[in-house]
């Protein structure tokens, strides 16, 4: 599974000593070819970590041989030293793999504003390279965890070719809670332009619609590497569907493991004038702290849904809005609808349906509730 599900990839995950306590903290993913096409999407935060700036640069030619990822430090807001450290990391990987640094993407996650312990990271790369194997995908997925309670992998196997991947984090591409790092691999025989299109089409409706806490990371990175090792070049639609399936699966796993969450919340916006309106409304609902607290308390507080919709610029008439929680239309025509006591909130998944009565566009945003555990986890993170 994971990044080694597709043919033409090896991976490893080891403990380099970046994190305290001997926990795995360094992952290496290598494309053994024959093809080395690649695409990436990155955080839209204007404050970008050194590894993001680096990886954007090396991806310009649509080729990657390897990705090195570390947890235990984001290497963000670390100035020229941080960029030098990222560069040195890529150089070291290039040296042990006998390739060029321009073929190596770097991703980091952890605390912002702290430089990486290069005296431990660089020897770690040699150790990881020595452990590379076609079965190393799971170890790699484990090594990139930060506050994740489980490692996250997914695979879409098709006739003759495969897309697989791993993810860490509890959030989204833009914006994101903590950092989201994703590496996807495929043995399909496709060029970088096709990978780029499929990756953007997929992230737009998956990771971009996962909104755990509205906070955007400096480090979010999603990479897709193709080895061509299957010798098969699938149709675009089939390939795009497989990439989307893996992204969707990983995105749901991210929300399911969001920091402190006790509810997975699916916000469906229907009958919007445009898809942009639907996304804006869905995001506004998904980011409303008061609503997220209410859902944590299993309180079907639809007034907070309406109040969130009212802050958007989407097309709607306030007295035409309908809202259902877990299928019960508790708000009809902008006013009191069916009995809120009919709403069963005992299960982890909560479904909010917002009907804008303004058209036929829809969008779904996934989020989670706001809990005391989230506060505890994030108030003690760096101490």
Identity of the residue, 71 or 78, whose beta carbon is nearer to a second copy in the bound complex: 78
The verdict on 297 binding a second copy (CB under 8 A) reads yes
The verdict on 336 binding a second copy (CB under 8 A) reads yes
Q: Which of 281, 270, 276 is nearest to 211 (CA)?
A: 281
Binding site for substrate: which residues?
Answer: 146, 168, 179, 259, 378, 383
Question: In angstroms, rounded to a whole number, what is the distance separating the alpha carbons of residues 271 and 98?
Answer: 55
Minimum Å distance from CB 23 to a second copy? Answer: 21
Q: Which of 33, 34, 47, 150 binds a second copy (CB under 8 A)?
A: 47
Question: In angstroms, rounded to a whole number, what is the distance separating the alpha carbons of residues 334 and 336?
Answer: 7
String of contacts with a second copy for each residue 340-369, x by CB under 8 A: ------------------------------
Q: Which of 280, 259, 187 is nearest to 228 (CA)?
A: 187
Q: Which residue has 């009919």 as its token pair?
A: 342
- The residue annotated as part of the active site, out of 179, 186, 353, 371, is 179
The verdict on 311 binding a second copy (CB under 8 A) reads yes
Helix (H, G, I), strand (E, B) or coil at 297: coil
The verdict on 34 binding a second copy (CB under 8 A) reads no
Q: Which of 299, 326, 329, 359 binds a second copy (CB under 8 A)?
A: 299
Q: Which of 115, 168, 126 is nearest to 143 (CA)?
A: 168
Q: Which of 334, 343, 367, 368 binds a second copy (CB under 8 A)?
A: 334
Q: Which of 23, 80, 83, 20 is nearest to 55 (CA)?
A: 83
Residues 243-282 that bind a second copy (CB under 8 A): none
Question: In angstroms, rounded to a whole number, what is the distance separating the alpha carbons of residues 246 and 1?
Answer: 11
First to last CA, the chain: 35
Question: In angstroms, rounded to a whole number, what is the distance separating the alpha carbons of residues 176 and 243?
Answer: 20
Q: Estimate to the nearest angstrom the gap between the alpha carbon of 294 and the chain centroid.
A: 26
- 10's CB contacts (< 8 A; 6+ apart) are 4, 29, 30, 32, 132, 133, 134, 136
- 132's CB contacts (< 8 A; 6+ apart) are 10, 11, 12, 28, 30
Identity of the residue, 113 or 123, whose beta carbon is nearer to a second copy in the bound complex: 113
Binding site: which residues?
Answer: 146, 168, 179, 259, 378, 383
String of contacts with a second copy for each residue 210-249, x by CB under 8 A: ---xxxxxx-------------------------------
The answer to whether residue 362 is catalytic is no
The verdict on 130 binding a second copy (CB under 8 A) reads no
The verdict on 60 binding a second copy (CB under 8 A) reads no
Distances (CA, A) of 5 to 29, 55, 151, 172: 12, 23, 15, 23
Q: Which of 1, 118, 241, 293 binds a second copy (CB under 8 A)?
A: 293
The verdict on 289 binding a second copy (CB under 8 A) reads yes
String of contacts with a second copy for each residue 71-100, x by CB under 8 A: ---x-xxxxxxx------------------
φ/ψ bin of 7: left (φ > 0), alpha (ψ from -120 to 50), beta (otherwise): beta
The verdict on 109 binding a second copy (CB under 8 A) reads no
Residues annotated as catalytic (active site), given as ranges: 179
Binding site for a second copy (CB under 8 A): 44-48, 74, 76-82, 111-115, 175, 177-178, 213-218, 287-290, 293-294, 296-297, 299, 301-304, 306-312, 316, 318-319, 321, 330-331, 333-336, 370-372, 374-383
């Amino acid at each position: 599974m994971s990044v080694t599900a597709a043919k033409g990839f090896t991976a490893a995950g080891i403990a380099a000593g970046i994190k305290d306590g001997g926990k795995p903290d360094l992952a290496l993913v290598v494309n053994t070819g024959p093809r080395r096409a690649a695409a990436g999407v990155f955080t839209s935060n204007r404050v970008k970590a050194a590894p993001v700036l680096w990886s954007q640069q090396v991806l310009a030619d649509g080729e990657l041989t390897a990705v090195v990822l570390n947890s235990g430090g984001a290497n963000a807001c670390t100035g020229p030293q941080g960029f030098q450290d990222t560069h040195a990391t890529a150089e070291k990987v290039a040296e042990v793999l006998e390739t060029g640094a321009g073929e190596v993407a770097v991703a980091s996650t952890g605390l912002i504003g702290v430089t990486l312990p290069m005296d431990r990271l660089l020897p770690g790369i040699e150790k990881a390279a020595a452990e590379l194997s076609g079965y190393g995908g799971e170890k790699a997925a484990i090594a990139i965890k930060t506050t994740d309670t489980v490692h996250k992998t997914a695979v879409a196997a098709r006739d003759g070719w495969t897309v697989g991947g791993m993810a860490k984090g509890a959030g989204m591409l833009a914006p994101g809670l903590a950092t989201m790092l994703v590496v996807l691999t495929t043995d399909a025989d496709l060029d970088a332009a096709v990978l780029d299109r499929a990756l953007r089409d997929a992230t737009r409706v998956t990771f971009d619609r996962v909104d755990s806490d509205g906070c955007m990371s400096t480090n979010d990175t999603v990479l897709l590497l193709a080895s061509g090792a299957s010798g098969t070049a699938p149709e675009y639609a089939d390939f795009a569907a497989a990439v989307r399936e893996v992204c969707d699966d990983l995105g749901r796993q991210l929300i399911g493991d969001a920091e402190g969450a006790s509810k997975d919340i699916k916000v469906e916006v229907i009958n919007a004038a445009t898809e942009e309106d639907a996304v804006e409304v869905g995001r506004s609902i998904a980011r409303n702290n008061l609503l997220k607290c209410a859902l944590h308390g299993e309180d079907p507080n639809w007034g907070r849904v309406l109040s969130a919709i009212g802050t958007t610029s989407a097309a709607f008439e306030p007295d035409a809005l309908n809202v259902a929680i877990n299928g019960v239309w508790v708000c009809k025509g902008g006013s009191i609808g069916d009995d809120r006591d009919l709403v069963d909130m005992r299960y982890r998944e909560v479904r909010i349906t917002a009907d804008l009565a303004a058209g036929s566009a829809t969008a779904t945003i996934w989020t989670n509730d706001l809990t005391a555990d989230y506060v505890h986890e994030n108030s003690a993170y760096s101490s």
